[in-house]
Amino acid sequence: MFRKTLQLGVGIALGFGLICGQADDLTAQDDGAIGTDVSHLNAGENPYTTAYDVRIGSGIFERSCSRCHGLDGTGGERGPDLTSGFQRASTDAGLFNVVRNGVPDTEMRGISQNRGDQSVWQIVSYLQTLSGGMRVDVPGDPVTGAAVYAQNDCAGCHVIDGVGSSSGPDLTTIGNRRSPAELASDLTDPDERVQPQWWMMNVTHNDGTRVEGRRLNEGTYSVRILDESGRMWSFEKRNLSQSERLENSTMPSYSENLSDDQLQDLIAYLYGLIRPLDG
Ligand code: HEC
Ligand code: HEC
């Protein structure tokens, strides 16, 4: 697990550790990034907390952090779960410091100095939504929303609490991962942000076999595809006569099929799907 890899990092960052071992006590510092307003930094208050900022932060997270912390922040081989509160920081300023400077003696390095402070605050806003720290009120009715979920056969592609089919992401704790605004965009504009793990691919093998399915992984020389019947295919790319990658979502848009009220109720239902507080 990731603990093992941690130890490899010891030594490299030893001197650094002496300077900022107490990540949470430090306030965020100006890194001299060009064109960033830093006047607010000493107050330690996050100036970038809108839904837009969360979205930007989430994009940066996918690119720079997900290979260790997982695409949805629930942790991976190399980095811990970030969705159930933080050990290293209890405030926005503390999180800022962890992201900016890293955690000494670990694989957690500070983010690239090319990123301005604004980007770091936007990541912090996103991290706060992951841990459920920034809950907001939603207008819809979750009970009616559950019925909308059932009537539209969402379970044909999604799992909640072990029930349903997994041609799409598990939604059991979707409320921890997505803001109401993001959920609205998931439902009405599914093509907008499709994570690579849900991309589809169709290929034709030199022997004429055609396969279409989820692109599980793709390297320079080979590709693995999971077809609709759950069968896994593996191809050497040089043996393919045709291949096409579809970065669209297989999920239909519900902007037409659902009324505004139904959408609000559905969002209230999904937003309420969160991990129990003590777990
Ligand atoms: C090379 C792997 C790696 C990458 C890339 C990485 N992290 Fe980490 N991260 C770690 C490890 C390992 C830890 C645990 C350090 C420790 O022992 O506390 C950690 C810890 C953290 C923590 C503290 C968790 C807590 O409980 O307090 C936060 C927050 C965090 N990372 C955010 C990020 C963000 C944001 C990015 C991208 C900008 C990122 N990490 C990139 C490996 C990584
Ligand atoms: C034909 C399969 C299919 C159906 C039907 C479907 N979805 Fe999806 N859904 C997906 C796939 C695949 C993704 C991941 C790609 C993407 O982001 O669009 C997804 C993504 C999502 C997400 C974002 C999840 C995340 O982790 O970011 C939400 C929320 C969601 N769907 C809710 C619903 C709801 C609610 C319904 C019913 C009204 C529904 N879906 C119907 C396949 C489906």
Our answer on whether the CB atom of 68 is closer than 6 Å to any ligand 1 atom is yes
Determine which residue's CA is closest to atom 8 belonging to ligand 1.
108
Residues 168 and 240 in one domain: no
CATH code of the domain in which 65 resides: 1.10.760.10
Ligand located closest to 85 CA: 1
Residues 85 and 162 in one domain: no
pLDDT beyond 50 at 61:
yes
Share of the chain above pLDDT 70, in %: 81
Ligand located closest to 119 CA: 1
CATH code of the domain in which 223 resides: 2.30.30.100
Domain endpoint, select from 106, 130, 154:
130
State how many domains the chain has.
3
Q: Which pLDDT score is estimated for 21?
A: 33
In a domain, 137, yes or no: no
In a domain, 20, yes or no: yes
Residues 65 and 95 in one domain: yes
Q: What pLDDT digit, counting tens, does each position of 68-80 carry?
A: 999 889 888 899 9
Overall average pLDDT of the 211-233 stretch = 90
In a domain, 136, yes or no: no
Read off the pTM. 0.58
Q: How far is the CA of 219 from the centre of ligand 2 (A)?
A: 26
Ligand located closest to 99 CA: 1
In a domain, 13, yes or no: yes
Q: What pLDDT digit, counting tens, does each position of 157-167 carry?
A: 999 999 998 88
Our answer on whether the CB atom of 130 is closer than 6 Å to any ligand 1 atom is no
In a domain, 279, yes or no: no
The pick from 83, 186, 198 for probing ligand 2's pocket by mutation, whose C-beta has the most ligand atoms within 8 angstroms, reads 186
Our answer on whether the CB atom of 123 is closer than 6 Å to any ligand 1 atom is yes
Overall average pLDDT of the 54-76 stretch = 92
Secondary structure (DSSP) of the chain: -HHHHHHHHTTTTHHHHHHSS-GGGSPP-----TT---TTGGGT--S--SHHHHHHHHHHHHHHTHHHH-TTSS--SSS---SS--SS-SSHHHHHHHHHHB-TTSS-BPPPTTS-HHHHHHHHHHHHHHTT-S-----S-HHHHHHHHHHTTGGGT-EETTEE--SS---TTHHHH--HHHHHHHHH-GGGS--GGG-EEEEEETTS-EEEEEEEEE-SSEEEEEETTS-EEEEEGGGEEEEEEE-S-SSPP-TTTS-HHHHHHHHHHHHT----TT-
In a domain, 89, yes or no: yes
Domain carrying residue 148: 142-193+252-271
Residues 85 and 182 in one domain: no
Q: What pLDDT digit, counting tens, does each position of 244-270 carry?
A: 999 989 899 999 999 999 999 999 999
Residues 152 and 181 in one domain: yes
Q: How far is the CA of 162 from the centre of ligand 1 (A)?
A: 29
Q: What pLDDT digit, counting tens, does each position of 158-214 carry?
A: 999 999 988 899 998 888 778 888 899 999 999 887 877 789 999 999 999 999 999
pLDDT beyond 90 at 90:
no
In a domain, 276, yes or no: no
Our answer on whether the CB atom of 2 is closer than 6 Å to any ligand 1 atom is yes
